[in-house]
């Protein structure tokens, strides 16, 4: 189904919150208008999609999801959120698909939940938000999740959450109080998630699971801009590490979510290729119209625009 006269538009970093899961957060940190949108999986969301010309969303539970819960709670909450998300998708299968929430505090159960949601519900992969109770995702305790994702042939979307408290204390100090979004989308999210991506490559996880696929939002959390420099710097050390840039280009996809910069997009295309870039908005934290209006201005041919808007994601997620 398409709601506009142009190419089909598929957006894949589009968030919601499950009300029961959200009871574990301080939801008052969000403006009421954002909360209303996060909790809306029906008429209001669809109306905004139609108004902007977005045909299809891959829905994902917003941060911090289940990454900061105790293992038992995380297992129960992830299953509940995924079950209820499936009910929503069944009501609007022509408009929605889903990324699973995973109980990463219990990695083996997270792998099982990934398999359950992919094989039973047709979910397209999973989204993981930031550190799991302070532990980076490259830690070998989480490798059963990567193994299962490779077997199922689905990607894992590594999404930001607040940085480690030690980083907040040392790097941001009073600035986090005066400029709270610097700690988040302004810079803190980028530091934390780019570091996740770097650590994954250095950990050897892609040598162990050579078909594993990872998605990063916000035009790759600045990593495409730094690939050559990181590659050169790592080559100075005596190790048998494969090319950092080659590994990134082989295993990572990036989305446009919340980073509607033409110059940054051009850099990303030059570094990793247009076939690795997928349209996203980061709704409801970013407006749908902003992403669509920007895509209309980028200096790409029709074929490359269509790859970003729908072609690449159809291949990756088999939509």
> Catalytic site residues?
282
88 closest CA partner among 136, 28, 131, 45:
45
**Residue 142 is inside which H or E element, if any?**
none
202 closest CA partner among 163, 132, 251:
251
Q: How many CA atoms lie within 13 A of 287 on its CB side?
A: 7
Give φ, ψ of 21 to 5 degrees: -65, -40
Rounded CA gap, 181 and 187, in Å?
8
Indicate left, alpha or beta for 62 from its phi (over 0: left) and psi (-120 to 50: alpha).
Answer: beta
Rounded CA gap, 148 and 119, in Å?
12
In the structure encoding, which two tokens stand for residue 77, read together? 């909450």
Exposure string of 2-36, with b = 16+ CB inside 10 Å and e = fewer, is ebeeebbbbbbbbbbbbeebbeeeeeeebeeebbe
Q: Given the DSSP bridges, would you call strands 10-16 and 96-98 parallel, antiparallel or unpaired? A: unpaired
Q: How many CA atoms lie within 13 A of 152 on its CB side?
A: 25
Q: What is the SS3 string spanning 253-308?
A: EEECCCCCCHHHHHHHHHHHCHHHEECCCCCCCCCHHHHHHHHCCCCCCHHHHHHH
Helix, strand or coil for residue 36? helix
């Amino acid at each position: 189904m398409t709601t506009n006269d142009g190419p089909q538009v598929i957006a894949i970093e589009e968030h919601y919150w499950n009300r029961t899961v959200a009871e574990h957060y301080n939801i008052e940190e969000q403006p009421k208008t954002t909360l209303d949108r996060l909790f809306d999986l029906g008429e209001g969301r669809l109306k905004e999609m139609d108004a902007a010309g977005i045909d299809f969303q891959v829905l994902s539970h917003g941060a911090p999801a289940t990454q900061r819960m105790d293992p038992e709670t995380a297992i129960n909450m992830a299953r509940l959120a995924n079950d209820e998300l499936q009910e929503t998708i069944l009501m609007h299968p022509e408009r929605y698909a889903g990324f699973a929430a995973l109980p990463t505090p219990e990695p083996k159960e997270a792998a099982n939940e990934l398999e359950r949601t992919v094989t039973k519900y047709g979910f397209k992969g999973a989204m993981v938000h930031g550190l799991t109770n302070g532990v980076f995702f490259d830690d070998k305790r989480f490798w059963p999740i990567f193994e299962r994702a490779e077997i199922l042939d689905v990607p894992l979307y590594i999404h930001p959450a607040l940085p480690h408290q030690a980083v907040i204390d040392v790097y941001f100090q009073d600035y986090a109080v005066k400029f709270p979004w610097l700690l988040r989308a302004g810079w803190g999210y980028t530091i934390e998630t780019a570091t996740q991506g770097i650590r994954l490559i250095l950990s050897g996880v892609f040598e162990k699971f050579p078909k594993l696929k990872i998605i990063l939002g916000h035009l790759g959390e600045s990593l495409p801009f730094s690939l050559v420099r990181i590659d050169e710097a790592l080559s100075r050390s005596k190790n048998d590490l494969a090319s950092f840039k080659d590994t990134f280009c082989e295993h990572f996809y990036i989305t446009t979510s919340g980073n509607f910069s033409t110059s940054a997009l051009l850099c990303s295309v030059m570094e990793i290729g247009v076939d690795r870039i997928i349209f996203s908005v980061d709704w409801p934290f970013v407006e749908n119209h902003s992403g669509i209006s920007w895509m209309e201005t980028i200096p790409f041919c029709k074929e490359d625009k269509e790859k970003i808007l729908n072609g690449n994601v159809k291949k990756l997620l088999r939509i």
